[in-house]
């Protein structure tokens, strides 16, 4: 079983959109998915259920699970035998901190960052640098990729990626930068882009493969 966490300590950067699309993409490939909703504000369940109604049979391999707390799950008993667990989490920084606990080994993490979102560009690298420092102390290796999102919304994609690289270099996090990015896919509702943006779909799938998913 593979475990994917989508998290960063900032709202409005696309965590739910990425987690939802990751679950849909993997289910479309025939994988059995457990979509875990840790964020109280997340509408991942609604988006997935809408797709299940829109395409009967195509996404039936996705089971939605909402635990009764906001901690990173350590036990999946009673949740079937999923091939991949996809967790959409809140902005709560402690979820990232949970990754350095030895009982939480094996998670793969996507941390979105939006180049034209100044607060996130400041806070996200700061928090991630702290988590990586803690991981060195505990000896728990974290398989994490920082994935630029909404690229090209207000500037060129090339300039957006350059801004992210400069900021991550400042925090010694450049090695954690994904080789891929997610384009600005427009203001759709619900925010599911695999049917409306081939570039979004292909880049997200490549980023998942980068993490071994």
CATH code, domain carrying 172: 3.40.50.300
Helix 15-28 with 44-54: angle, nearest 10 deg: 30
State mean pLDDT over 3-26: 95
Q: What is the pLDDT of residue 34?
A: 98
The verdict on residue 121 lying in a domain is yes
The verdict on residue 106 lying in a domain is yes
Q: Is the dihedral of CA 184, 111, 11, 22 positive or negative?
A: positive
State mean pLDDT over 90-99: 78
202 pLDDT more than 90: yes
Domain tally, the chain: 1
Q: What is the pLDDT of residue 183?
A: 96
Question: What residues contact residue 35 under an 8 Å CB cut-off, 6+ apart?
Answer: 19, 20, 23, 44, 45, 48, 62, 63, 64, 65, 86, 88
Lowest mean pLDDT among 8-12, 52-56, 86-90, 135-139: 135-139
Residue-range definition of the domain harbouring residue 93? 2-207
State mean pLDDT over 59-72: 91
The verdict on residue 102 lying in a domain is yes
pTM of the model: 0.95
Are the beta carbons of 151 and 115 closer than 8 angstroms? yes
On average, the pLDDT of the chain sits at 92
The verdict on residue 12 lying in a domain is yes
Question: What residues contact residue 153 under an 8 Å CB cut-off, 6+ apart?
Answer: 116, 184
The verdict on residue 213 lying in a domain is no
**pLDDT tens column, 115-147:** 999 999 999 999 999 999 988 888 888 899 999
Question: What residues contact residue 90 under an 8 Å CB cut-off, 6+ apart?
Answer: 38, 39, 40, 41, 42, 70
Residue 52: how many other CB atoms lie within 10 Å: 18
The verdict on residue 212 lying in a domain is no
Q: Is 39 exposed, middle or buried (0-12, 13-18, 19+ CB in 10 A)?
A: buried
Grade residue 93 by pLDDT with cuts at 50, 70 and 90: low
Are the beta carbons of 149 and 180 closer than 8 angstroms? no
49 pLDDT more than 90: yes
H or E element in which residue 45 lies? helix 44-54
Of residues 175, 127, 135, 161, the one with CA closest to residue 10 = 127
Grade residue 101 by pLDDT with cuts at 50, 70 and 90: confident
Are the beta carbons of 24 and 74 closer than 8 angstroms? no
Are the beta carbons of 101 and 140 closer than 8 angstroms? yes
**C-alpha–C-alpha distance, residues 121 and 101, integer Å:** 26
């Amino acid at each position: 079983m593979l475990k994917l966490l989508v998290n960063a300590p900032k709202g409005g950067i696309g965590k739910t959109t990425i987690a939802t699309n990751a679950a849909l993409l993997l289910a479309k490939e025939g994988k059995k998915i457990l979509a875990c909703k840790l964020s109280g504000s997340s509408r991942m369940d609604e988006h997935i259920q809408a797709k299940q109604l829109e395409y009967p049979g195509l996404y039936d391999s996705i089971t939605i699970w909402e635990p009764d707390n906001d901690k990173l799950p350590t036990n999946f008993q009673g949740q079937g035998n999923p091939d991949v667990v996809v967790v959409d989490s809140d902005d709560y920084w402690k979820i990232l901190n949970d990754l350095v606990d030895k009982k939480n080994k094996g998670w793969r993490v996507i941390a979105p960052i939006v180049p034209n979102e100044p607060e996130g560009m400041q806070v996200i690298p700061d928090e991630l640098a702290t988590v990586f420092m803690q991981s060195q102390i505990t000896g728990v290796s974290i398989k994490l990729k920082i994935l630029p999102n909404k690229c090209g919304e207000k500037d060129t994609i090339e300039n957006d990626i350059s801004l992210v690289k400069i900021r991550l270099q400042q925090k010694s996090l450049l090695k954690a930068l994904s080789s891929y990015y997610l384009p600005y896919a427009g203001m759709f509702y619900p925010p599911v882009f695999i049917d409306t943006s081939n570039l979004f779909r292909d880049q997200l799938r490549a980023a998942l493969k980068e993490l071994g998913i």
